Amino acid sequence: MKGHVACGFVSICFLVVFSPVLMGSQQPQESAEPPTFRAHSSLVLVDVISRDRKTGLPIRDFTKEDFRLFDNRHQVPIATFDAGAREDTRPVTLWLVVICNEGGLSQFWASAEFSGQESLFRPALKLVRLIIGDAYRRNPRPLPVIVFLHGDHTRQPHLELNQLVDDFLETSGIVFGIQDYRAPKLHLIGEQSKIMHYMATHTGGEYFSSSPSGFAAALVTILAQLHFRYELGFIPPAIDGKRHELKVELTNTAQKKHKGVRLRFRPEYIPVSEQPEWVR
């Protein structure tokens, strides 16, 4: 499934992949039971990505008892637990969004043309809501993931951008990005700059900086993180439609066993009943 949006001198291409994100040569065992997909009107799923400080690889042997989960700084019981290493996490709907220049400039980072012409980029951001909504209406409901390939010379008013981020926080989508390490660093005043970096930070994703020859390796790293992630499910104490602070940490025992492990997860979520109105 593929679509195209052209704006001015910029081409925005969308490639969607429906995948359980199986890595390497791993094959499901014949005796293995099919994965169980959780369904609950108010169950919140928190995707947790782990990384060993020394090797940079995900930790594969964590158990439910190794985690502690906090909602607005109050610990909440973990109702469900799934691990990518057991292949029982949700499938992933991954969109690769490539933004490239067609105006005759050879530099990959020529996306700086967006500076002062952000209106050209906003139609693509509106499509992000369609991507999330499509995933949210599927059964079983996959995890929507968007990977931007772009230097991210963008800016947007905070209020408008936070409305978009709220869509992710209501549906647990994740944003990643890959940019050419040679792209210049621009700092814009008055609005939120680097809006795709902003979305990655607020959804538990990551933005990678690499040479073009390393883009494929960066994408493989993203897929590995998604495959070996953990999913912690809990029932929110209150369904109020407001942003709640999220925190996931390892127990003292787990920290002693795996020293220096870093956990990444979305720092906030919005509890909603059943499904947001905008995806109905």
Specify the pLDDT at position 36. 44
Q: What phi, psi does 110 have (nearest 5°)?
A: -65, 0
pLDDT digits (tens, 9 = 90+) for 150-167: 765 666 666 767 777 887
Which residue type sits at 79?
A
The residue among 43 and 129 whose pLDDT is bigger is 43
pTM as predicted = 0.77
Residue ranges covered by each domain of the chain: 2-21+40-279
Q: Which residues make Cβ contacts (< 8 Å) with residue 119, sequence separation at least 6? A: none
Q: Is the pLDDT assigned to residue 77 strictly greater than 50?
A: yes
CA-CA distances (angstroms) from residue 70 to 46, 192, 231?
Answer: 11, 28, 14
Specify the pLDDT at position 134. 80
Average pLDDT, the chain: 76
Average pLDDT over residues 35-48: 69
What is the C-alpha separation between 81 and 83, in angstroms, rounded?
A: 7
In residues, how long is the chain?
A: 280
The residue among 28 and 73 whose pLDDT is bigger is 73
Average pLDDT over residues 242-266: 94
The residue among 155 and 243 whose pLDDT is bigger is 243
pLDDT digits (tens, 9 = 90+) for 97-128: 876 543 443 344 434 444 445 555 566 666 77
Q: How confident is the model at residue 184 (pLDDT cuts 50, 70, 90)?
A: low
The residue among 73 and 11 whose pLDDT is bigger is 73
Asked if 144 contacts 132 with a C-beta cutoff of 8 angstroms, the reply is yes
Question: Would you state the torsion angle of the CA atoms of residues 272, 78, 174, 74, taken in this order, to the nearest 10 degrees?
Answer: 70
